[in-house]
Structure 1
Amino acid sequence: MSEQIDPVQETIMLYARQLRVPTFPNYEQVIRQLDPGEGYDRFLLELMKIELKQRQEAGQQRRIKKARFPYTKTMEEFQYERLEHVSKALINELASCDFISNRQNIAMIGNSGSGKTHLSIALGMKACYLGFNVRFFTAMNLANELSEALQTHRLSKLEKSLAKVDLLIIDELSYLTFNRHQSEMLFQVISERSERASVIITTNLEFSRWTELFENELLIAA
């Protein structure tokens, strides 16, 4: 004999779907966890906490997916000794992501293998967990996307979408030479975020050599 569905439970499940609160049908689990004598307000509070936690976790995963990280890295996995002349205290300060709230930028300059990409991804993922919208590009991919968008008359749309993210990460900026159009478009993306939103750039070139990245020296001076 098949088990009959309680009409009350069935209605709760229906209303939960309509109200978009998928955790509410699991109310019996909350009841079992409550101490005897705890009132309805406590029950409702615990049920809402579960719903809120699930929504937060779902939002975090959506933001991480939209960021398009090449792989996942966390601050807990980071080997601080790989960075020269940078204190652990400074890295922990960056991990608070206050620099995003303050609309500040970060330039990570160091040799290949020093952990720049790992750290940029870890900071980006931490930002996603804290509710910020992030987008990750290698410099090559971003330059190519900008060029393709220009050719297909989508450049304005792409630039607007990039302007909306709280943190833009541009990795391996020094590993290629841009043509004039690419350097100007890339500079435009970065400059438009000035004092509006944050950028993390990783490179192995010192600032004095950034003219090797852009053909127009006036862009560097700016």
Structure 2
Amino acid sequence: MSELITARIQAHATRLGLPHLAEHLDLLVERAETDSMGYREFIDTILGEELGLREGRRFRTALKLSGLPHHKTLEEFDFAFQPDLDVRKIRDLAALAFVTGHRNVALLGPPGTGKTHIATALAVAACQAGHSIYFTSLDDCVRQLRAAEAAGRFAKKLQTYLRPSVLVLDEVGYLPCDRAAANMVFQLISRRYERGSIILTSNKTFSEWGQVFTDDVIATAILDRLLHHCDVIAINGPSYRLKDRALSAVPAAVS
């Protein structure tokens, strides 16, 4: 009888999409008996483990589709190398209230100061919490939108950048935009306004964005929507990329 019940449970679990239960039923029952679990506790354990496995798969799949250049976390960020950076502010952002509040985050500073690392780490945290994310450089975003417009698919392609809860726009200002590109960026920013969060990195101050978008009026319109609900983080420390080079340049101590 017990073998028939076991087979029936495994079949039901498989049809319900509960592979962990189907594969490890005997081990789960043995653990329940060893720990003297009650019925509710046993069911809670089964569902909790299935949910954990499912969320793990969702998280890994979402990261693969996110376009992130790497999956670095805040724990890997060397805050000691950027002593002027407000660590508590970054930790507060990692709590993701900015995502649920549809706020933006702007990380400004010279190249190599860790802006993209922090932006990526916040996106990874958001993904882990169940939010949809997407990463792109501004240059690649504009290039994709231009190609879509030429093919008559602009509105559909724009949805790629409107759909996720968190959009990471990297390297804003590294390459200038002409007026047509600036208009595309304006459409993107205005359509996401108060509907989804943007995390952007830029090596330019906001006062220089008129040069970035080759039009002060468009730049002002973009900033008006972007900064209305925005946490601005300035990182003005040394470059991580030059860190090892600087250390290698120090003469070795004479023994």
The 3-state SS of whatever aligns with 1:70 is coil
In 2, are the aligned partners of 1:82 and 1:115 still within 8 Å (CA)?
no
Aligned position for 1:28:
26
Question: Secondary structure of 2:134's match?
Answer: strand
Alpha-carbon offset, residue 168 of structure 1 = 0.6
Equivalent position of 1:214 in the other structure: 213
The equivalent of 1:18 in structure 2 is: 15
Unaligned runs of 5+ in 2: 222-255
- What secondary structure, in the 3-state scheme, does the structure 1 residue paired with 2:173 have? helix
Deviations 1:6-28 (A, max 9, x none): 55444433322211111111122
Inter-CA distance 104–36: structure 2 relative to 1 (3 Å threshold) = closer
> Equivalent pairs: percent with the same residue?
29
Q: With the length of structure 2 as denominator, give the TM-score of the two structures.
A: 0.80
Whether the 8 Å contact between 1:82 and 1:114 is mirrored in structure 2 is: no
Q: Secondary structure at the match of 2:19?
A: coil
Q: List aligned pairs for 1:82-97, cutoff 5 A.
A: 82-83=81-82, 85-97=84-96
CA distance in 2 between counterparts of 1:138 and 1:89 reads 27
- Over 3 Å counting, the alpha-carbon distance change for 1:83 and 1:190 in structure 2 is farther
d(CA) in 2 for partners of 1:137, 1:188: 16
**Residue 162, structure 1, aligned to residue 166, structure 2:** no
Residue type matched to 1:20 in 2? Answer: G
**C-alpha displacement of 1:39:** 2.8
Q: Counterpart of 1:56 in structure 2: which amino acid?
A: E
> Which digits, 9 at most, give the CA deviation of each residue in 1:123-164, with x for residues without a partner?
100100011101000111111111111111111012223222
TM-score between the two structures when normalised by the length of structure 1: 0.91
SS at match of 1:175: coil
- What is the CA deviation profile of residues 71-93 of structure 1, one whole-angstrom value per residue up to 9, with x for unaligned ones? 12111101113446431100100
* Alignment partner of 1:108 is 2:82: no
Shift of 1:33: 2.0
Q: 2:64 maps to which residue?
A: 65
Secondary structure of 1:172's counterpart equals: strand
| Structure 1 stretch displaced more, 203-212 or 63-72 | 63-72
Aligned to 2:248: none
What amino acid is the match of 1:186? V
Gap change, CA 1:84 and 1:205, over 3 Å in 2: farther
State the superposition RMSD in angstroms.
Answer: 1.6
Q: Which has the higher contact order (CA 8 A, sep 6+)?
A: 2
Q: Which residue number corresponds to residue 47 of structure 1? A: 46
| 8 Å CA contact 2:10, 2:25 repeated in 1 | no
